[in-house]
Chains A and B, each alone.
Chain A
Amino acid sequence: MIRYYPEKVIILNDAVIRESVITLNILDSIRGRGIEVIYLSEAEINDLIEKTARLENSYGEGKKTLLITANRGEFLKKCPGTNEYICCDYYIIDFAQNCPMECTYCILQAYLNNPFMVVYANIGDLFAELDTRLAGSGGKKIRIGTGEFTDSLALEHLSEYSKILMDYFAGKPQFILEFKSKTDYIKTFTDYRSGGGGLDNILISYSMNAKSVNKFEELKTATIEERLIAAAACVRAGYKITLHFDPIIDYDNFETEMAETINLIFKYLSPGDIKYISLGAFRFIPALADIIAVRFPKSRIIYNEFIKGYDKKIRYFRFKREKLFESVINLIREHDRLNEIRLYFCMESPEMWNALLGGAPSSDEQLGGILYDKCVNCPASY
């Protein structure tokens, strides 16, 4: 896959940001590529954001600029759930925002109000916040990801942010750190030499989908096979893998293509390599449908048998979701006959858990704990 390089880099003109290792890594990696670098004040940056956001194709245009700035808010956030659907009790490090890849279904299109690619370089503040908040977590089983507001590895070749986070978490083996990606970038992991801690609390995670969804709806991403080759290399380097079938999309030839993808998974990975697989059906806020219709007029994913769920998101009708999930679960279990891989739903109803996964967790925390234990203790099967 082609790696992202911006046309322009804007750096917040503040000593902390200018001298941050993240900024220096990025400047080092773009040297000699003729990429314009400018230093601007916060007010000038805000003006520019406002102007770019007004452009018709602001979301596409904005990605050509990489903004290195400071996160003035919280770095560590709780993944937002709802009361009615079961969530996996996940935490997120908000280290960057936006993504150079172009998935038609991406919620960031409707969520972000800053069209630029953004990296937060005030890592001193990040680590100070993590120190305080994780110290006060009272033994809670915490899984933290970086792939919520961006792809965890899309800018890794520029910033090496994940490597820096791995160094930090190497000394905190009780917390699990998960990198979720649609790239095939593995240099950080294969080259990684731990400063003492092991790799036991690191999860490398790949998004999986049917071939046509990958081809037509996940533009500028690595192919499924490229991701799996990367995953296999990570396994060889000693890492644990997790996979995410999210969003599962009702597409032409769903069953056949899903079977192909799942066969491919087990061509490169054995069930023992995969700690868990999440399953989430395509869902979206109504505003996203309008954006998809304009930005990707050829995409038909927003036209299907949808209903409005009780989290106000549009989702497939319950029994359609059930049918889609059932196919994927059966296909996975054909390869994983010993149930080594923990399967779970992302934002699904207790009814769905009862119907397909043998019962619903009693709380979000219970599910989070189950997934945590699966990774830390690695029993043969849960």
Chain B
Amino acid sequence: MNKIINYEYRRIPLKDIDLSDDRCRISHKCVYAALEKSIGASGIINPVILYPYDGGYKIISGFKRADIAAAIDALSGGQGSIGCLIAGDNSAAERLLINICENASIRELNPIEISAALKKLSEFYDKPAIVENYLPLINMQKSEYIFNKYLSLDRLTADLKTAVVRGRLPVAAAFILADFSGAGQTAFASILNETRMGANLIVETARLLFETAMQYNKTAERILSDINYEAVITNKDLTTNQKTETIRGALNRLKRPMYESCLERFSGLASAFTADKISINPFAYFEKDEITIKFNINSAAGLEKKIKALNRLKESKLISEFLKEAGRE
């Protein structure tokens, strides 16, 4: 687009602007509290860009500003107007590019806006052209992989898009969730709301759920239903941390059934020595026939007690089951 865009500044009554038309829109419709507060206090400083259409106007850029101004105006009778820049005769593709350029030049687009921008650009250009010409425009690397990843976010439910925009859902988790069906995403969103997991845990849990679903060739919602997640998140006796642990524990048991049952068996046998204050742990993932035994002593009598307990351990099922053969020295 080499064309110079000429604008004419005018004040336009809000009722003449078609707020429902979102052909150029890349921002996600949700509550933008900070912007609402700013516009409420100071009005719109940066004019909205419009183009004339069928006796009224449609928006090229400034959807959030116009939405908020209209909402505020509705409270005071709906007769207000806002300062606007009116663009001349541009094609639909040019209008979309005006919006993307205007937003990308003054701030970083959030992942959902990038996704929407790529989706709408795809209506006018093919993938290689977008990768080559327009990804750099929004400060993205020229890469088909990146294009595909961000475009996939368009498959998120509105709630999850909102969570990404608000920084509640890390984009790494959003990429994973985009591969779930709507039902799977909705179920995950409800877990997110009820557990208050931190960013890292959200990503890990999304990945754990995805991998478990792939492992069993089931959908994410089916896996969540198998672990009875609704009963967990609605259980008022559990804290948010306990809910997180319960859900992750159940997923881990599904993902690594042999390991988890081994660990359970080991822990059961090791618990016989808890009263002696001897802690016994297996080698990581039982990869070696090796166990770690830890205890503290502070007297000769204490040592005598530990020796007795260790003699009991030597004859225990734990030793016969988990230290089968001698390894390579």
Assess whether B262 is in contact with A309, with CB atoms less than 8 Å apart.
no
CB of A287 within 8 Å of the partner chain: no
Q: Which 10 pairs between the two chains have the least Cβ-Cβ distance?
A: A56-B144, A350-B328, A303-B214, A307-B285, A354-B325, A303-B215, A350-B327, A317-B259, A305-B256, A360-B328
- Which B residues from 193 to 235 make CB contacts under 8 A with A? 211-212, 214-215, 217
> A310 at the A/B interface (Cβ < 8 Å)?
yes
Distance in angstroms between the alpha carbons of A381 and B54 in the assembled complex: 91
- The residues of B that contact A355 with a CB separation of less than 8 Å are 324-325
> Closest Cβ of chain B: how far from A306's Cβ, in Å?
8
Task: Give the contacting residue for A56; candidates B145, B212, B215, B258; CB below 8 A.
Answer: B145
Q: Is B326 a contact partner of A354 (Cβ separation < 8 A)?
A: yes
A310 CB, min distance to chain B CBs, angstroms: 6
Contact (Cβ within 8 A) A349 B257: no
In the complex, whether B248 has a CB less than 8 A from a CB of chain A is no
Known contacts A300-B214, A349-B288; is-contact A320 B258 (Cβ 8 Å):
yes
Q: Given known contacts A317-B258, A354-B326, A360-B327, is B287 in contact with A349 (CB within 8 Å)?
A: yes
- Whether A351 is near chain B, meaning CB under 8 Å from some CB there, is yes
In chain A between 302 and 349, which residues have their CB closer than 8 angstroms to a CB of chain B? 303-305, 307-310, 317-320, 349
Chain B residues with CB below 8 A from A317, complex form: 256, 258-259, 285-286
Whether, in the assembled complex, A294 has its beta carbon less than 8 Å from a beta carbon of chain B, the answer is yes
| Interface contact B258-A309, CB-CB below 8 Å | no
B288, A351: Cβ atoms closer than 8 Å? yes
Residues of chain A contacted by B168 (CB below 8 angstroms): none
A355 to B212, CA, bound (A): 29
Interchain CB contact under 8 A, B144 and A304:
no
In the complex, residue of chain B having the shortest beta-carbon distance to the beta carbon of A85:
B287
* CB-CB under 8 A for A351 and B258, given A56-B144, A300-B217, A303-B211: no
Some 30 contacts from A to B, beta carbons below 8 A apart, are: A86-B328, A300-B215, A300-B217, A303-B212, A303-B214, A303-B215, A304-B215, A305-B215, A305-B259, A307-B256, A307-B284, A307-B287, A310-B284, A317-B258, A317-B286, A318-B285, A318-B286, A318-B287, A319-B258, A319-B262, A319-B286, A350-B328, A351-B287, A351-B288, A351-B327, A354-B324, A354-B327, A355-B324, A355-B325, A360-B327
Q: How far is the CA of A318 from the CA of B325 in the complex (A)?
A: 15
Q: How far is the CA of A319 from the CA of B281 in the complex (A)?
A: 18
B256 — which chain A residues lie within 8 A by C-beta?
305, 307, 317
Interface residues of A (CB under 8 A from B): 56-57, 86, 294, 300, 303-305, 307-310, 317-320, 349-351, 354-355, 360, 362
Min Cβ gap A199→B in Å is 35
- The complex places the Cα of A302 from the Cα of B211 at a distance, in Å, of 9
Q: How far is the CA of A230 from the CA of B150 in the complex (A)?
A: 47
Closest Cβ neighbor of B327 among chain A residues? A350
Nearest neighbor of A316 in chain B, beta-carbon distance: B258
Other than A305-B256, A307-B285, A320-B258, give 9 A-B pairs with Cβ distance below 8 A.
Answer: A300-B217, A303-B214, A305-B258, A307-B259, A310-B284, A318-B286, A349-B288, A354-B325, A355-B324
Chain B residues near A350: list those with CB within 8 A: 327-328
- Interface core residue of A300, A320, A351, A360 (most chain B CB under 10 Å): A351
Which listed residue (A305, A308, A351) contacts B255, Cβ 8 A? A305
Q: Which residues of B contact A307 (CB under 8 A)?
A: 256, 259, 284-285, 287
Contact with A351, one of B144, B212, B259, B289 (Cβ below 8 angstroms): B289
Q: Is the CB of B257 within 8 A of A305?
A: yes
* B145-A294 in contact (CB<8A): yes
Q: Give the residue name and chain of the B residue nearest to A360 (CB).
A: B328
Contact bitstring B139-173, A, C-beta under 8 A = 1, else 0: 00001110000000000000000000000000000
- State how many angstroms separate the Cβ of B204 from the closest Cβ of chain A: 14
CB distance from B135 to the nearest CB of A (A): 12
Interface residues of B (CB under 8 A from A): 143-145, 211-212, 214-215, 217, 255-259, 262, 284-289, 324-328
**Contact indicator B325/A351 (Cβ below 8 Å):** yes
Which A residues touch B144, using CB under 8 A? 56-57
Whether B143 contacts A56 by the Cβ 8 Å rule is yes
- In the bound complex, CA of A99 to CA of B328 (Å): 36
Residues of B within 8 A of A360 (CB): 327-328
Q: CB-CB < 8 A to A294: which residues of B?
A: 145
CA distance A308 to B215 in the complex (A): 17
Q: Which residues of B contact A300 (CB under 8 A)?
A: 214-215, 217
The CB with the most chain B CB atoms within 10 A, among A86, A307, A308, is that of A307
Do the beta carbons of B328 and A362 come within 8 Å of each other? Answer: yes
Q: Which residues on B sit within 8 Å (CB–CB) of A305?
A: 215, 255-259
Which of B212, B217, B289 neighbours the largest number of chain A CB atoms within 10 Å of its CB? B289
Roughly how many angstroms separate A307 CA and B285 CA in the complex, as a whole number? 7
Instruction: Give Cα distance in the complex from A354 to B257, angstroms.
Output: 24
**Bound state CA distance, A56 and B325, in angstroms?**
49
Chain B residue nearest in CB terms to A307:
B285
Complex Cα–Cα for A349 and B144 (A): 41
With contacts A300-B214, A318-B287 known, is A349 near B327, CB below 8 A?
Answer: yes
**Residues of chain B with a CB closer than 8 A to A319's CB:** 258, 262, 286
Which residue of the partner chain A has the closest CB to B215? A303
Per the bound structure, the CA–CA distance linking A329 and B268 in Å amounts to 33
Q: When chains A and B are docked, how far (Å) is the Cα of A294 from the Cα of B284?
A: 30
A351 to B138, CA, bound (A): 54
Q: Give the shortest distance, in Å, between A324 (CB) and chain B (any CB).
A: 12
Q: Which residues of A contact B255 (CB under 8 A)?
A: 305
Residues of A within 8 A of B259 (CB): 305, 307, 317
- Give bound CA distance, A308 to B283, whole Å: 12
Q: In the assembly, what is the distance between CA of A51 and CA of B74, in Å? A: 56
Complex Cα–Cα for A317 and B258 (A) = 8
Q: How far is the CA of A317 from the CA of B287 in the complex (A)?
A: 8
User: Closest CB-CB distance, A253 to chain B, in whole Å?
Assistant: 14
For the complex, what is the distance from the CA of A135 to the CA of B258, rounded to whole Å?
50
CA distance A57 to B255 in the complex (A): 31
Chain A positions within 8 Å of B217 at CB level: 300
Q: Count chain B CB atoms within 10 A of each CB in A303, A354, A362 and give the residue with the most.
A: A303
CB distance from B308 to the nearest CB of A (A): 30
A5 to chain B, nearest CB (A): 27
Q: Which residue of B lies closest to A320 (CB)?
A: B258
Q: Complex formed: what's the CA distance from A319 to B144 in Å?
A: 40
Residues of chain A within 8 A (CB-CB) of B289 are: 351
